Amino acid sequence: MRRPFRQGSLPAVAVLAALLAAGLASPAGASSDDLPSASVLKPSAVASSAHTVRLVTGDRVVVTGSGADRQVSFAPDSDSPTGTASILKHGKDITVVPEEVRPLLDAGVLDPRLFEVGELIEQGYADGRDLPLIVQNSSASGRTPANSRQVRRLPAIKATAAAVDPEQVQRFWAGLRDKQDGATAKRLADGVRKVWLDGKVTPALDKSVPQIGAPTAWAAGYDGSGTKVAILDTGIDATHADLSDRIDEARNFSDSADAVDRHGHGTHVASTIAGSGAASGGKYKGVAPGAKLLIGKVLGDNGSGTESGVLAGMEWAAHSGAKVVSMSLGADAYTDGTDPMSQAVNTLTKDTGTLFVIAAGNTGPDAGTVGTPGAADAALTVAAVDDQDKIASFSSRGPRFGDKALKPDIAAPGVNIVAARAAGTAMGTPAEAGYTSASGTSMATPHVSGAAAILAQEHPDWDADDLKGALMSSARTSGNGGFLEGSGRVDLATAIHAGVWATNASMGTYAQGAVSDPVARTVTFHNTTDKEITLALSGELSLDGGSEVAGALTLGSAGITLPAHGSQGVEVTVDPDLATTGGTYTGTITAAGEGVTAHATVALSRDLPTYEVGLQTLMPDGTAPGSTSLSVYDLRKNAPPVRLPVDAAGVANARLKPGRYTILGHLLKGGTSVSFVLPDVNVTDHDLALTADGRKAARVLTKTPKPTEPVGSTVMVGRQSAEQSIGVMAALSGGPGQQYLLPSAAAQDGRLASTVVESFRSRPISAQAQLPTGHVDLTTQFAAGSGRFEGVRKLTAVDAGFGTAEDLAAHDVTGKLALVRLGSDSPLTALTRVADAGAAAVMLVNSSDGVLTAGMVTKTPMFTVPQSQGDRVLAALARGRVTVRLTGELTPSYSYQTVNSHEGALPGSWTTAPVQSEFADVLTKDYSPAPAGAGELYSQGSWLGQSTVTGDGAGTFGEVNLGTTQHSYLLAADIEWSRTAYLSGYLSAQQYSSAAASYKPGSRSTQEWFKPVLHAGTPGPGTDPSGSAQPYRKGDSMIVTIPKYVTGRSDFYEYGGRNADGDETAFRLYRNGTLLGSAPNAWVAINNLPQEASQYRIETDAKRNNKWWSVSTEQHTAWNFTSAHVDGDAKAPLPLLQADYHLEGVALDSSVTAGKYHPVSVSFRNPDGTRAALTKGTVEVSYDEGTTWKRVPAVTYKGTVTGVLKAPKSSKGISLRVHGENATGSSIDQTVIHTVHVR
């Protein structure tokens, strides 16, 4: 699996610690005089347990939980051709691929990272945020695609950086589809060559500078003077004494306000290149202290940036006079060097002659982990060594992913490097005043950049090839091996005397024990001097960490004569059969003579033999699948899977080393999915021929006690060994009987499990066609989001063809039921056209006998039927008049959710018919915080006691109308259910979650979603088992995580770490009456608070008034409490007094009747859920939106204040203001404007 473009993530605890360290910095036990003035607080790293990702296709993916235990569910876009997706889980990695995009992925026109959901969440591209893209066009003049916003042009790669609003993704994707090819498209429309994710990019001297020979260069008169070095990083601290006179220009390409370094990484890198050492008396002097710096801030204050920002910085740097561009950044994308950033390096190097010196990455010690843009051919890619020239464990290794090219190119010191520390930052480990120590290929890279600057001063006519070649050919080999250190550790003392340089070469990868022909490559030597030079050649090949292999490397000649400023190639031949031991080998070709020495490096790897494993796949009807998702897992090690491409005949082939494997996959075609597992594939010493025969697969069929239509289903198959825990899912929306599982034997060891989760609902529309031959009951599938009605309608049917303008001109659909076939237009386009033409309802005829799932946003009722039924109606219509009787309901009156799970061998039957007594009846009341609108209720079921072998559960969506009730029938035996409700817009910023719960068969219970009074506070007891929304004190740190809204009784809550569109929120923290800091919301971390007990005050504000929300439109809360140092690792809940509300007589539309009495009670709660011992409690009411207030006569009993409200008819809403104090001195003051409507 290709990894995303990032450096690598810290564990959650480490991230939180890092954020805390960057908070309000003051020494432990500081007095109030030592604390800083009010500042902007850092966000808390405590994450939501639920996320919604909008894929580029418009489909939605919901992920709940964390780490390897995350659960995944798929909700197709309304315009999805099949509503089907393949879901792959490997550890914490999650990939979701809708069926329609598989041909585009196979054709290489879509970036696979667009569907790596786990990484989209980690990079912050979820929960209603814009999707950032890089759109490459066929020409440099390509336009920005419709329904996207241009961020910047990227001429070097003929691309545009664009952002797509999640509400516009559906239209954006519709515009990108190639309409000529339809669902099987292998290209994109409108001249778009490829769409990439604009992913996140992150940052990848007293001993190290002498280690590379810089003092020798200084003594020779070279310090980089006259050379410009561009640094693309986190900016610069221009006030640091080491750098204040080194900066020529600074530009900002990040999302931060300016080019000032508030992270520390960029300043550290800059001083390693060109720092004067002034603040240390010259001790920490940089490699090229005479060089001038061009600062391009491409990484923001949080240490990360986007690929498009880096690309823009690269263009600026290469065209601004920089001879060298230093990039201590990148991503651990295991790329073959064809990604956007690598493309830009190659193009800009060729066009400008600028040398790009780039970090290899910090994802070692595994092989093949060099990231982008260091994977570029033209890049001088830098590995890291320690002060003994041993390769650093973290340094990314070669060969390059895909083509096995030789990378990295060179190495430099990168362990415990001391350099300048930017003011106010805490990166690394503080050293002397003004300096900090850090490790990484980020630290190695500036050593090479400084060395390149010195060579550029010495040879102002040299271009990038000369600088790169000279540094590599003069490097000191240290025995680490070519795929670890390239040509060796940079040796500036030798490089300044270099007149000849040579290219390197990769000799390939060969199977151990196989007979291989000798392989030849040409290594070219270049003479940069003004005289002819004759050089003797010698070469050897050695096992890395071992001895020389005699006779394995031969040269085409014993010597060469290089003309002045000329070059000559030398043929290097390696016999892989002489390299019999498995491992990597490095060859060195040395040219020496006339006082000149240069060397070239070649490398090869000798691997275990491989054998052909062929897999024939078939659908249930015996045909080849339309698309597939097949992955091979090595059961012996926890490695990412290898994806198997499948040809048009359904055959997949792979070459595998001897070992034990599992093959997991889906076969997809026309909305039908076959899931299968081959749990134990044993590769020994011969080829294998395997079959996944869908004709033998068992259909998933569940019959519900009451009539229903399917909403969605998810099939999960999981395999677990000692080293691997893997799961694969097929998600299907609608389509009864379209999911299949292939029976399998049990696993030879470890575990094998399978689970099916399904959701059904009462039919929104039932249809009966009155044909001349009799009545026909149609199998309808309602188009989600289209119009609903209550009762019976009899409509005359009309053939509307494919819904084109020509069809509608020929047939009047006004007031009739329009029958529409699938055509070249997308269903969304055709159905919108028919609705606009005045059809009373629309019936879409599928192109197969499966049920097509579609969706619309229209007032016109729409539904789909299978092809055979639709064709029968159309045939009758061609002979005469046809009437169709429609029966509708405004909202589903009931729904069913089922789970069917098996441990061990996959069974041969998945047909079930549970009876009503096996279900729990959960009466779901959906109060409406909006004037009108729909929402969704997502139910996730987990089979109790089952491990993460199948992902621990999955869920499906069910549409609900707010302001209604529904009976949710949950299959109860041995199943645990968690549920999440969404408002229209489907953004996680407006989602409410419940805690997981199990039910008894036949039981009855009630859930009340979005019930007033919606207010700020922490969830009630049992509602937040993870504690993610519970503020606490740990040591001298305070972690504040307060949801913006909880329901009246605090039993459901909205995550508070992000805002919905139109939200206005604020957070303030006071200590002893002095403002310490503020933040955009109450999801913050504060560090280094005084140890002594102090009086604190937290204030939160929230305003929300959008089309999905019209109650609790404004609220203000203040908590007063005492807090002090907490010993050890204990987490002490902050003693925030909470208020829970119960207002009687609230209707489902969140209204109360004017002129009637409505009892109201406010219960004050301690953090542990117990009722507070109140010393004072009051309730005030306003009937004019908070203009005037009056005290509510009330009684207080056991922490609850109870009174009665009576709203006048002139009132539009009821606002409440409460105050509570307990015996420990904690208090709460809360004002909520327009808690309910008055009718």
pLDDT band at 1207 (very low <50, low <70, confident <90, very high): very high
Tell which residue, 981, 952, 1003, 1012, has the closest CA to residue 1151.
Answer: 1012
Beta-carbon count within 10 A of 996 CB: 17
Q: What tokens were used for 890?
A: 């405004």
Question: For residues 1147-1161, b (16+ Cβ closer than 10 Å) or e, as one string?
Answer: ebbbbbebeeebebb
Whole-angstrom Cα distance, residue 1024 to residue 50?
12
Beta-carbon count within 10 A of 1176 CB: 12
pLDDT of residue 184: 54
pLDDT band at 959 (very low <50, low <70, confident <90, very high): low
pLDDT tens track for 829-861: 888 899 999 999 999 998 766 555 555 667 899
Average pLDDT of the residues in 950-966: 67
Whole-angstrom Cα distance, residue 841 to residue 815?
8
Calculate what percentage of the chain has a pLDDT beyond 70: 88
Whole-angstrom Cα distance, residue 263 to residue 422?
8
Tell which residue, 106, 107, 102, 188, has the closest CA to residue 142.
Answer: 188
Long-range contacts from 61-65, C-beta under 8 angstroms, 24+ separation: 61/94, 61/96, 61/117, 62/938, 62/955, 62/957, 62/980, 63/94, 63/117, 63/118, 63/121, 64/940, 64/955, 64/978, 64/980, 64/993, 65/952
Average pLDDT of the residues in 1210-1215: 96
pLDDT of residue 39: 43
pLDDT of residue 1124: 96
pLDDT of residue 1103: 94
Whole-angstrom Cα distance, residue 370 to residue 385?
15
- List, in sequence order, every beta strand (DSSP E) within 485-626: 500-502, 505-511, 519-527, 533-543, 553-555, 559-562, 567-574, 583-593, 596-607, 611-618
pLDDT of residue 715: 84
- Same fold for the pair 611-761+893-1009 and 1032-1238: yes
Tell which residue, 435, 439, 438, 447, has the closest CA to residue 277.
Answer: 435
Q: Which of 141-145, 282-286, 344-348, 497-501 has the lowest mean pLDDT?
A: 141-145
pLDDT band at 797 (very low <50, low <70, confident <90, very high): very high
pLDDT of residue 582: 83
Q: What is the distance of C-alpha 1005 from the center of its chain?
A: 37
Whole-angstrom Cα distance, residue 1114 to residue 1178?
20
Catalytic residue numbers?
A: 233, 265, 442
Q: What does the domain layout of the chain look like in residue ranges?
A: 47-198, 202-498, 611-761+893-1009, 765-888, 1032-1238
List phi, psi (to 5°) of 44.
Answer: -75, 145
CATH classification for the domain delimited by 611-761+893-1009, as one of 3.40.50.2300, 2.60.40.10, 1.10.150.80, 3.90.1150.180: 2.60.40.10
pLDDT band at 134 (very low <50, low <70, confident <90, very high): very high
Length of the chain: 1239
pLDDT tens track for 1173-1199: 999 999 999 999 999 999 999 999 999
Whole-angstrom Cα distance, residue 122 to residue 36?
32
Q: Which of 94-98, 248-252, 1023-1027 has the lowest mean pLDDT?
A: 1023-1027
Tell which residue, 480, 502, 335, 339, has the closest CA to residue 405.
Answer: 335
Q: Is the peptide bond preceding residue 365 cis, with omega within 30 degrees of 0? A: yes
pLDDT tens track for 42-63: 555 455 567 888 999 988 888 8
Whole-angstrom Cα distance, residue 759 to residue 739?
13
pLDDT at 138 over 70: yes
Specify whether the CB–CB gap between 948 and 68 falls below 8 A. yes
pLDDT of residue 505: 85
Dihedral over Cα of 206, 211, 217, 220: its sign = positive
Beta bridge mates, 613: 654, 688
Whole-angstrom Cα distance, residue 66 to residue 49?
6
Q: What tokens were used for 749?
A: 């060891």
DSSP structure class, residue 578: G
| Average pLDDT score over the chain | 86
AA identity, residue 248: D
Tell which residue, 120, 112, 133, 128, has the closest CA to residue 92.
Answer: 120
pLDDT of residue 10: 22
pLDDT at 744 over 60: yes
Whole-angstrom Cα distance, residue 315 to residue 502?
28
Whole-angstrom Cα distance, residue 800 to residue 808?
6
Specify whether the CB–CB gap between 788 and 889 falls below 8 A. yes
Q: What tokens were used for 402?
A: 């895909």
List phi, psi (to 5°) of 309.
Answer: -65, -40
pLDDT at 665 over 50: yes
Beta-carbon count within 10 A of 1017 CB: 28
AA identity, residue 860: T
Beta-carbon count within 10 A of 662 CB: 26
Average pLDDT of the residues in 1189-1212: 96
For residues 538 and 87, which has the higher predicted lDDT (pLDDT)? 538
pLDDT of residue 1050: 84
Tell which residue, 958, 959, 999, has the closest CA to residue 977.
Answer: 999
AA identity, residue 1146: V
pLDDT of residue 939: 60
Whole-angstrom Cα distance, residue 118 to residue 287?
40
Specify whether the CB–CB gap between 328 and 363 falls below 8 A. no
Specify whether the CB–CB gap between 611 and 688 falls below 8 A. yes
Task: Give the C-alpha distances (Å, rounded to integers) separating 554 from 481, 542, 1155.
Answer: 19, 13, 101
pLDDT of residue 416: 93
Average pLDDT of the residues in 1022-1046: 86
AA identity, residue 891: T
CATH match of 202-498 with 2.30.30.240? no
Q: Is 753 left (phi over 0), alpha (psi -120 to 50) or beta?
A: beta
AA identity, residue 169: V
| Cα distance between the two ends of the chain | 58
In CATH terms, the fold of domain 1032-1238 is Immunoglobulin-like (2.60.40)
Task: Give the C-alpha distances (Å, rounded to integers) separating 279 from 110, 282, 421, 439, 985.
Answer: 50, 7, 11, 21, 55
Helix (H) or strand (E) holding 341: helix 340-352
Which residues 6+ apart lie within 8 Å of 210 measured at CB? none
Question: For residues 318-343, b (16+ Cβ closer than 10 Å) or e, as one string?
Answer: bebebbbbbbbbbbbbbbbbbbbbbb
Q: What tokens were used for 937?
A: 């209720």
pLDDT of residue 739: 87
**∠ Cα 900 904 909 (to 5°):** 50
List phi, psi (to 5°) of 957.
Answer: -100, 145
Q: What tokens were used for 617?
A: 């796949």
What pTM was computed for the model?
0.77
DSSP structure class, residue 857: -
AA identity, residue 94: I
Beta bridge mates, 1086: 1038
Strand 739-741 and strand 725-732: pairing?
Answer: unpaired
Calculate what percentage of the chain has a pLDDT beyond 90: 58
Q: How deeply is 1060 buried, as exposed, middle or buried, from its count of CB atoms within 10 A (0-12, 13-18, 19+)?
A: buried
Dihedral over Cα of 797, 803, 807, 808: its sign = positive
pLDDT band at 1081 (very low <50, low <70, confident <90, very high): confident
**∠ Cα 163 165 171 (to 5°):** 100
Q: Please tell me the chain's helix, strand, coil percentages from 3-state DSSP, rounded to the nearest 5.
A: 15, 40, 45
pLDDT at 35 over 50: no
Which residues 6+ apart lie within 8 Å of 1187 measured at CB? none
CATH classification for the domain delimited by 765-888, as one of 1.10.3210.10, 3.40.50.720, 3.50.50.60, 3.50.30.30: 3.50.30.30
Tell which residue, 208, 341, 339, has the closest CA to residue 275.
Answer: 208
Q: What tokens were used for 337?
A: 């060097």
Tell which residue, 761, 764, 759, 703, has the closest CA to residue 731.
Answer: 759
pLDDT tens track for 1096-1144: 999 999 998 777 788 999 999 999 999 999 999 899 999 999 999 999 9
